[in-house]
Amino acid sequence: MFWEGVFSTQFTFSQDKALYIDQTGKVGVNTITPSQQLDVNGSINLSGDLNGTKFYQFTSANSPYVMNGVGTVTATFTVSMAAGCESPGFSALVNYHPSSQRFTIASQSGTGNNHVKVSPKAANTLQFFDECGSVTNMSFSKCDAQGNITVTVDIDGTIPWAYFKIMSQGW
């Protein structure tokens, strides 16, 4: 509430403290003791940009998928995959060079036989090898004039589905 242009020291929108703003302007969601400017106690669903970072989520059923506004210069992506064969998910930090349509892999994480590599047949294609012995190909197109990249996913048929998350970081 406002009194004479001053914000009250504490403002709570519901009795269970779902949204709380303290006297310093820190906002708490499901917490009455926010320690940061925005403190969320629980999961969030973000669609759009976060300080130059974009998030994309899609399944193999959505292929081809267009990532809007990625940019026309080198982009850094964190690509994560989960597959329907009970293989644990895994991810890779990759660089993509749209002008030459080439990937380079900076690092990756996963367990067992899960790994990612650049296809020896096409430098614009990442190959995901999972614990179940399947290979999923993810190909990136050359950027169009608006900086959009089309992603095409091809699963080899031994898994019922594949789910992807891509986080793109500044360029």
The residues that bridge with 83 in the sheet, in sequence order, are: 162
Question: What pLDDT shows up at residue 6?
Answer: 47
pTM beyond 0.85: no
Count CA within 13 A, CB hemisphere, residue 167.
11
Peptide bond into 160 cis (omega under 30): no
Query: Per-residue pLDDT tens for 120-146?
Result: 888 889 888 877 778 888 888 877 777
**What is the C-alpha to C-alpha distance for residues 127 and 114, in angstroms, rounded to an integer?**
11
**What is the C-alpha to C-alpha distance for residues 5 and 81, in angstroms, rounded to an integer?**
50
**What is the C-alpha to C-alpha distance for residues 162 and 27, in angstroms, rounded to an integer?**
37
Question: What pLDDT shows up at residue 15?
Answer: 54
**What is the C-alpha to C-alpha distance for residues 158 and 100, in angstroms, rounded to an integer?**
32
**What is the C-alpha to C-alpha distance for residues 13 and 26, in angstroms, rounded to an integer?**
14
- Report the phi/psi class of residue 124: left, alpha or beta, with left for phi > 0 and alpha for psi in -120 to 50: alpha
Assess contact for 106 and 98: CB atoms under 8 A: no
- In this prediction, the residues of the chain whose per-residue pLDDT falls under 50 are 1-9, 12, 171
**From-to residues of CATH 2.60.40.1680 in the chain:** 49-169
Question: What pLDDT shows up at residue 4?
Answer: 45
Question: What pLDDT shows up at residue 8?
Answer: 46
**What is the C-alpha to C-alpha distance for residues 105 and 86, in angstroms, rounded to an integer?**
25
SS3 16: coil
Question: What pLDDT shows up at residue 1?
Answer: 42
Closest among 47, 50, 48 to 38, alpha carbons compared:
50
Fold of 49-169: Immunoglobulin-like (2.60.40)
